[in-house]
Amino acid sequence: MLTGILTVTLAVPDLVAMERAYVDTLGFTVEARGVVSRPLARAWQAVAVEGREWVLLRPAGGSDVFLRIIHQPSAAGYRAMRSWGWNANEILIQDPLATRSRLENSAFKVIGEPRGLSLNPEVIAMQAIGPAGELVYLTRIPPGRSLFNLGTAQAAIDRTFIVVLGGPDMSSMRNFYARQLGMPVTEAAHSTISVLAREWGLESERQFPLSIVRFPEDFLVEIDEYPAEAGPRPVLPGELPPGIAMVTFTVTDLGRITGLEHPGPTRHAEAPYLGRRASVLRGMAGEWIELVESVQR
């Protein structure tokens, strides 16, 4: 039922610094600005964010896959990969070494140097922590070399193509995307996730259960089962989750989705909705999922 990733939303304490980092270092451009409207805050069931400033960024390749940054006070105890929910935003790049150089002396801290994937050495990935503590993967896929028809970068640093979900129980997370959202989901397999192992003080080759939610093309969701010590993300009353707060997906028809948090779809004039119907639900790891219809009905 999901057809693509439309927007990755970040809730951050310093909107100006965040915008500067993604524009100056990663080449994003400002698509729109505004404040969170009352109807949107209510649709999210996050009434405290009403009136908060936001900026919508478009990647340099021109794709309609946006990064939305919303101002929000810090939540004590948040740290990427330590709690359940959306934990990483993976972006296509053209040249890993050039990208590594761009991040030098920037607001991004490299925590994983560029290296080929074990299953596909021609795909080279690196990892960094952004200015709000968000985890960013930066990955090169040579043309025609993707196992899941994910495409390749159209600019030096291009669009989101994978979002990574971490949670406590692989079975329930897989079933949610397969049954409630009607998506093809791979069987869980054990895979090395070095950045996650290091975050938890485990050996670098430690393996974790991993599954893939497949899209027709261009995108996927990676599901990681986190160590038992991880727990729910700290969220202040009426606020969005800190860090990667929410992922917005396009769907063909909201009427086919069950379990929506809002009693009915709502319309919002501002970008990225542009008058299309939208609604929100929560996943099994507490992740916030926003759904927007592909065309205006």
Residue extents of the structural domains in the chain: 2-71+247-293, 85-225
Q: Distance between CA atoms of 255 and 244, rounded to whole angstroms?
A: 27
**Residues 237, 242, 244, CA angle at the centre, nearest 5°?**
135
Q: DSSP character for 39?
A: H
What's the length of the chain? 297
Contacts of 125 (CB under 8 A, 6+ apart): 90, 96, 112, 114, 115, 117, 137, 138, 139, 140
What is the per-residue pLDDT across 135-159, written as a single tens digit (0 to 9) for each? 999 999 999 878 889 999 999 999 9
- Give all strands of the β-sheet with 53-58 in edge-to-edge order: 29-35, 53-58, 66-71, 2-12, 243-251, 288-293, 277-282, 266-267
Query: Token pair of 29, please?
Result: 């451009």
2-71+247-293 against 85-225: fold identical: yes
Q: What is the DSSP string of 94-162?
A: S-HHHHHHHHTTSS-EEEEEEEE-SS-TTSEEEEEE-TTS-EEEEEE--TT--TT-----SSSEEEEEE
pLDDT value of residue 186: 97
Query: Token pair of 183, please?
Result: 């998506």
pLDDT value of residue 144: 84
Query: Token pair of 190, please?
Result: 């054990």
pLDDT value of residue 210: 97
What is the per-residue pLDDT across 109-129, written as a single tens digit (0 to 9) for each? 999 999 998 778 889 999 999
pLDDT value of residue 120: 80
Mean pLDDT of residues grouped by 10 in the chain (297 residues)?
A: 96 97 98 97 95 98 97 89 98 97 97 87 94 96 88 97 98 96 96 94 93 96 97 95 97 81 80 95 95 87
- CATH architecture of the domain covering 2-71+247-293: Roll (3.10)
Nearest Cα residue to 60 out of 22, 32, 95: 22
pLDDT value of residue 263: 58
- CATH classification code of 85-225: 3.10.180.10
Q: Distance between CA atoms of 191 and 198, rounded to whole angstroms?
A: 14
